Structure 1
Amino acid sequence: MLVYPSSINLSCRTLRFLAEQRTARPQKIGTRWRRLPAARQALLALVHLRCGDTYAQLAAGSGIEIATVFRYIREAVDVLATLAPLLVAAMETIREKAFVILGGTLLPIDRIAADTPYYS
């Protein structure tokens, strides 16, 4: 597999934040040493989440095994999940705000008029 450098449209602050969170977590749960530093682990997780690169692509680019990539991404997602608000807290915040933006996928549509009936 050929490996090439690429870019990702995320800030360095995002990478540093996740790397700091990843550094603190092994000390809390007592995991063993890692082949890659926390910043590289965070970068693998962010690339996977943002660009959708497969585990095999990430493993080839980093010189590590696919199972190691899987473990790094899973641990990073676990760290992010612990930082996310619970559903009850999120619903209370939504109730207080005038509007909210929910994360998700926007689908392109060709309908531009709301008064035109939809026929399938």
Structure 2
Amino acid sequence: MSVSNHALITLSAALRHRRSTVGTRWRRLSVGEQALLVVAHLRKGETYTDLAAGHGIGTTTMFRYIHEAIDVLAALAPGLRAAGEVAVARPS
């Protein structure tokens, strides 16, 4: 699967920041591994079960990893007003 390095680096950095903000002490997977799994799920539709089994973690942990990353990505996204302003500013 081809994945943008920029996408992985951005998601990894955001996850690292969240982990330090929340004060996470230990995780089975690094932020880079978590980012790769999340991108695989979002781009290819890989199931939680398949991803979890391939990386030696439980399905529930995989569920938490994906939902944590989605929350982080949502926080990075521009608001509706900002997105609308960008859409209007771009010529057709």
After TM superposition, the score normalised by the length of structure 1 is: 0.72
* Matches of 1:85 and 1:97, distance apart in 2: 16
* Matches of 1:48 and 1:90, distance apart in 2: 25
Q: What whole-Å deviation, never above 9, does each CA across 1:68-102 have from its counterpart, x for those lacking one?
A: 00111111111111110000111111111113xxx
Higher relative contact order (CA 8 A, sep 6+): 2
Query: In structure 2, what residue type is equivalent to 1:18?
Result: L
Indicate the larger mover: 20-29 or 10-19.
10-19
Query: In structure 1, what residue type is equivalent to 2:76?
Result: L
* Matches of 1:13 and 1:95, distance apart in 2: 26
Greater fraction of residues in helix? 2
* Matches of 1:11 and 1:64, distance apart in 2: 25
* Matches of 1:17 and 1:85, distance apart in 2: 15
Indicate the larger mover: 21-30 or 61-70.
21-30
Counterpart in the other structure of 2:79: 86
* Matches of 1:12 and 1:93, distance apart in 2: 25
Long gaps (5+) in structure 1: 1-7, 100-120
Counterpart in the other structure of 2:61: 68
Q: Secondary structure at the match of 1:17?
A: helix
Indicate the larger mover: 85-94 or 43-52.
85-94
Q: What whole-Å deviation, never above 9, does each CA across 1:39-87 have from its counterpart, x for those lacking one?
A: 0000110000000000000011111000000111111111111110000
RMSD of aligned residue pairs (Cα, Å): 1.1
Question: Which of 50, 62, 82 is equivalent to 1:57?
Answer: 50
After TM superposition, the score normalised by the length of structure 2 is: 0.92
* Matches of 2:4 and 2:87, distance apart in 1: 27
Q: What whole-Å deviation, never above 9, does each CA across 1:10-38 have from its counterpart, x for those lacking one?
A: 12232122111111111112234111111
